[in-house]
Structure 1
Amino acid sequence: MWGVGFLPLGWARFIDADASDCANLICDGAQHPAFRHFASLGDVLCDPEASIDEQFAALVAVMTRAMRPNRDEPRIARVHAALVSGDHATVHELADACAMSIRTLERVCMRYFGFAPKLLMRRQRFMRSLTTFMLQRGTRWTEAMDAHYHDQAQFTREFREFMTMNPSEYAALDHPILTSFMEARARVWGSPAQTLDPPVHR
């Protein structure tokens, strides 16, 4: 199985569509206008006779042909780095840190990140809390909560919104696969989830 994940810079370089139009989307990638230029990969990646090296070479070739620079790349990188840092509590602070207006920040976020700045900040805050809880076994939620939460009640509301259950209900479940995945990813890539990866310039 091959999996390719795009960070916002990757989306800008490979996908000619607003990320907000594709967020939480399930579709036939070979038919969708945003993704169908990758459809030719199916011939090799779904060929049981193709070797891993042949499949990898096909991936590299198609990605190389599809990649193109984007004039918004410096802005994307600034927004991405500021979101991952967790240093900013409000959209206004985030916009100032990225040296852009709130309107420009909203445009960049919707185009390349898929969501409005406020939701992105909430998601990052939640993921920092969740990964702390998952990686530091035995930690209580009050210890894992991100510092930007006003109180435990706010955290519980957002947890329920993102996970459709209370923190205590989630903690009572077994998470052998997710915990192992997060631990391995943190060890190999330096962060336990893609939402916490910093931008990478290539």
Structure 2
Amino acid sequence: MTELQKLRGSEPASVGLALPTTPRMRYWKPAPALRGLVSGYHLYAVTTPPGRPHRDVFQPAWANIRVLLTAATDWRVRVGEGAWKPVGECALFGPSSQVTWSESGSGIVVGAGLTPLGWARLSKFPAASWANRVEDCDAAFGDVIAALRPLLRGAADDDALPVLFDAFLIGAMARATRLDSAIARLDSALLDPANTTVGALAKRIGITPRSLERIAARAFGFPPKLLLRRARFLRSLHAIRRAEPSERAAAIDPGYTDYPHFIRDAQDFLGMPPRAFLKLDMPLFAQSAKLRDQVLGAPAQALGSG
């Protein structure tokens, strides 16, 4: 019996479940043809006693498509201080500048992280219209994802999932857009701590500040100034996560004028001080952060790649 079949049980997912007693996850890199379009694929599997939901959190991230392999899973999320809302069988987690709190029953979810360029290839809508939102994926992509869902649910084992994602997304993202080059340059520039102002960012990319605003809204979901703050904060958050406690203050990005400046950003992006956030009991967040480092690489954390 395959690993995924063990997770589901011998019966179809809609009939019965056999899930691990501790949270389990996998990460995979996409095919080379999807480099720059898809940040990675992930699988989360959790089980909970009746009446005791699993609680976790997603860091600010680019857009993610997430498909429940166990369609009956009771799952709800809240972005920042927003209202709780149920998550459907196929959900789009839009680009976010705040944490997304999660409560769920037993279940398995598989997902694909879209880069800003991947969003521009796959969706006709500006990313800004989906920022800090979780909605049904068909609302953003029409019926494009509909054909993929039954294939994922019928996968023989874990390692069939990235193969299915690759085959589907290579075709769905094949058509280039006229903004591809500028989006890719902006994506790369946000990784560079030397870019600290909107003017410097526009100059680095070789476009006007007005064009930069349009591209940021279309593919990234936020104004350039917020994108710079977000990238700086995520670089710092994951630097202190990796650092020894005594070295954390020195690990933050040099773009911060002082540690209180970093704390103020933490309140905006996390809703709490960073040390309080990192002390929370968040099993999937802790495991996924380590796995993303190993599989996708540490730079992925700086922009919130899922």
What's the counterpart of residue 154 of structure 1?
Answer: 261
Deviations 1:127-172, CA, capped at 9 Å, x for gaps: 1110001112334442122101112222111111111112343354
Structure 2 residue 206 is matched with structure 1 residue 99 = yes
Shift of the 56–188 alpha-carbon distance from structure 1 to 2, 3 Å rule, reads closer
In the TM superposition, residue 15 of structure 1 has moved relative to its aligned partner by 1.7
Correspondence list, 1:107-122, <5 A: 107-122=214-229
Instruction: Give the letter aligned to residue 63 of structure 1.
Output: L
Structure 1 match to 2:156:
51
| Shift of residue 46, structure 1, vs aligned partner | 2.6
Find the counterpart in structure 2 of residue 7 from structure 1: 115
8 Å contact kept, 1:9–1:112: yes
Q: With the length of structure 1 as denominator, give the TM-score of the two structures.
A: 0.84
Which stretch has the larger CA shift, 147-156 or 177-186?
A: 177-186
Residue 26 of structure 1: aligned partner: 134
Q: How does 1:1-202 map to 2 (within 5 A)?
A: 1-30=109-138, 32-47=139-154, 50-52=155-157, 58-67=164-173, 68-173=175-280, 177-191=284-298, 193-196=300-303
Q: 1:124 to 1:84 in 2, by over 3 A?
A: same
CA-atom RMSD, angstroms? 2.5
- Preserved contact between residue 212 and residue 224 of structure 2 (Cα < 8 Å): yes
Q: Provide runs of 4+ in structure 1 moved above 6 Å.
A: none
Aligned length: 195
Which amino acid counterpart does residue 156 of structure 2 have in structure 1?
A: S
Q: CA deviation at 1:192?
A: 6.1
Structure 2, gaps ≥5 residues long: 1-108
In structure 1, what is the Cα distance between the partners aligned to 2:278 and 2:156?
42
SS at match of 1:132: helix
Matched residue type, 1:81: S
TM-score (norm. length: structure 2):
0.57
Larger displacement relative to structure 2 (34-43 or 165-174): 165-174
Percent pairwise identity: 35
C-alpha distance in structure 2 between counterparts of 1:168 and 1:58, whole Å: 39
Post-superposition shift, 1:37?
1.1
Q: Which runs of 5+ in 1 are unaligned?
A: none
**What amino acid is aligned across from residue 51 of structure 1 in structure 2?**
A
How far the C-alpha of 1:194 sits from its partner, in A, is 4.5
Q: Aligned AA for 1:10?
A: G
Report which of the two has the higher share of strand.
2
